[in-house]
Amino acid sequence: MLKYTVRRILYFIPTVFVISVITFMLIRAVPGDMADALIRSQTDELSLRDAPELYEKKYREKARELGTDLPAFYVEISSYAYPHALAYEWNPVKKEVITNLIRETGESSKAYSWYSHVEFYNRIAGKQGKTYPDAQERIDLERELHRLLHTHEKAEIQAVLNEMKAIALSPSAEGNYVRTKLEELHAEFENLHTSPKVWKNYIPTLRFHSQCAFGVWLTGNGSTHKGILRGDFGTSVINGKPVKQSLSEKIGLTLGLSLLSILLAFIIALPLGILSALYHGSIAEKIITGFLFILFTLPSFWVASLCIMWLTGGDGLNWFAPYGTGKVTPDMNIFEIIRLKWRHFALPLFAWTYGGLAFISKQMQTSLLQHANKEYITAAIARGLPFRRVLFGHLLPNSLRPLITMAANILPALIGGSVILETLFSLPGMGEWAYRAYLMRDFPVIMAVVFFGSVLTLTGYLISDILLAWSDPKIKFTQA
């Protein structure tokens, strides 16, 4: 048994690693800039607009902390045209523009040279442009230069250069730096599209990196970020709190309700399944099965909404609380606390539980009917054993084994359903937290929820496998 358990746990480790890779890839594929979102959630928007140098400094620090200035993985298949340094570019706009320019021309050195000239002219425009005679022309010039930083389209670049040329040839620009530098920019643009070598894009190249974003996400950066393996999922965009702290506050409610719901579902459904098997084909069995399957067809969010409308005050009955968990005060006794929690959690538990009753009871009924025709049951009855002993000593224990595996499948479904139900009942659990994170594009929270939910699901399967092996002698531990 010990050897089997250790082996299953060892299988668990690479599976968690694969889940971490998939989670990381999904988050990287989501549109948006995580570093930018975190900075804007923690810094005043006006100060960022008035001090672009401050934003750039903060962005570089945050990108270094999150690893977004690094290639995704230690190994990548890239194109021969792309230089090794492109994978380490911290500026996402610059990286995207240069990547597209290389894709169009196949010349990385020319693409970098063009973009460097554009950056240089943007810098000197901010300094020397203040001496420009015409204020409106200066503003137009700076705007056109800034457009060049964000585009790779040949036609658009040509249009911007023509517009800048028109500004530079105006009488007010006589003797200004624009006329002398614009020729260099035109020359760089012409050189960029001279003798393109697009064929380089079609030659695959295998590249290895000493650092990567996945490594930072997994093990940390050695200073500000410890990595998910040590429980550090970063900082939430919504409230600026560590994700680990919020997760520890919310996971207890979701797990508690989910496990209690599973327990209640089995306590109610197993006796109903046994009765359905004992009275198979009778009117009682048809009533039980029909009622449970009617409940099964009702969507939990719809039933929960009706319960809130009819049973939580207003125009309906004031039997339960519509939202929240209830605040416990020091002067409450144990009975008042139980009553308070009952008012707040009875409806969520009902909405969590009723959908699984039909499935569990049907599985119990089918398993009992299958084992009832087995030879060992026939032999037990032939020996004259009492019916209770045959049922509870032989038939029921063997029939329960398939339900052990089924319990592992119910837990992930309940945690997934918590997103809707916790939002409806305003319960501060992991589901409601995840829902707000998806709306606000809170990437660190989404990472934590997806990763932790996957690990929790795997843990459920691991426990069910061990319990199944422990309860079934036919499973050989040495061969598992």
All structural domains of the chain, each given as residue ranges with its CATH number in brackets, are 2-230 (no CATH), 243-479 (1.10.3720.10)
* Cα–Cα distance, 20 to 452 (Å, whole number): 10
Crossing angle of helices 92-105 and 108-128, in 10° steps, is: 140
pLDDT of residue 215: 83
Model confidence pLDDT, tens digit, residues 39-57: 776 666 655 555 667 777 8
CB distance 207 to 416 below 8 Å: no
CB distance 430 to 247 below 8 Å: yes
* Cα–Cα distance, 422 to 344 (Å, whole number): 12
Mean pLDDT of 190-195: 86
Most confident range (mean pLDDT) of 102-116, 177-191, 347-361, 379-393 is: 102-116
* Cα–Cα distance, 67 to 24 (Å, whole number): 12
Model confidence pLDDT, tens digit, residues 268-287: 888 888 888 888 878 888 88
Mean pLDDT of 463-471: 73
Tally DSSP H helices, then E strands, for the chain.
19, 2
Model confidence pLDDT, tens digit, residues 410-454: 767 767 777 778 888 888 888 888 888 877 777 778 878 887 877
Max intra-chain CA distance, the chain: 115
Which of these ranges, 17-31, 370-384, 402-416, 433-447, has the smallest mean pLDDT? 402-416
* Cα–Cα distance, 115 to 97 (Å, whole number): 9
pLDDT at position 237 over 80: no
- H-run or E-run covering 75: strand 75-79
* Cα–Cα distance, 301 to 51 (Å, whole number): 47
| Mean residue pLDDT across the chain | 79
Mean pLDDT of 200-216: 86
pLDDT of residue 127: 60
pLDDT of residue 179: 61
Contacts of residue 456, Cβ cutoff 8 Å, sequence gap at least 6: 255, 411, 412, 415
Helices marked H in 30-107: 34-42, 45-50, 52-66, 92-105
Q: Kindly report the backbone phi and psi dihedral angles of residue 107, in degrees, each rounded to the nearest multiple of 5, phi listed first.
A: -115, 100
Model confidence pLDDT, tens digit, residues 169-182: 666 554 455 666 67
pLDDT at position 480 over 50: no
- In a 10 Å sphere around its CB, with 0-12 CB exposed, 13-18 middle and 19+ buried, how is residue 14 labelled? exposed
* Cα–Cα distance, 381 to 389 (Å, whole number): 10
Most confident range (mean pLDDT) of 90-104, 211-225, 417-431, 443-457 is: 90-104
* Cα–Cα distance, 360 to 268 (Å, whole number): 9
pLDDT at position 259 over 60: yes
Look at residues 403, 284, 406, 303 and name the one whose alpha carbon lies nearest to residue 353. Answer: 303
pLDDT of residue 195: 84
How far lies 388's CA from each of 53, 393, 395, 402, 461, in Å? 81, 8, 10, 21, 32
pLDDT band, residue 163 (cuts 50/70/90): confident
Supply 468's token pair.
């199944």
Exposure string of 162-176, with b = 16+ CB inside 10 Å and e = fewer, is: eebeebbeeeebeeb
Which of these ranges, 20-34, 91-105, 107-121, 145-159, has the smallest mean pLDDT? 20-34
Could you list the beta-strand ranges (E) of 107-220. 204-208
- In a 10 Å sphere around its CB, with 0-12 CB exposed, 13-18 middle and 19+ buried, how is residue 70 labelled? buried
* Cα–Cα distance, 207 to 332 (Å, whole number): 65
The residue among 427 and 123 whose pLDDT is bigger is 427
How many CB atoms neighbour CB 327 within 10 A?
8
The dihedral built from the CA positions of residue 437, 442, 445 and 449, taken in this order, carries a sign that is positive
pTM over 0.85: no
pLDDT of residue 401: 75
- In a 10 Å sphere around its CB, with 0-12 CB exposed, 13-18 middle and 19+ buried, how is residue 261 labelled? buried
Supply 447's token pair.
């990472």
pLDDT at position 135 over 80: no
Model confidence pLDDT, tens digit, residues 405-422: 777 667 677 677 777 788
How far lies 18's CA from each of 8, 444, 449, in Å? 16, 19, 16
Model confidence pLDDT, tens digit, residues 315-334: 777 788 887 777 878 888 88
pLDDT of residue 123: 76
Which of these ranges, 152-166, 379-393, 410-424, has the smallest mean pLDDT? 410-424
Task: Please state, for a pLDDT cut of 90, what percent of the chain lies above it.
Answer: 1
3-class state of residue 210 by DSSP: coil
CB distance 145 to 121 below 8 Å: yes
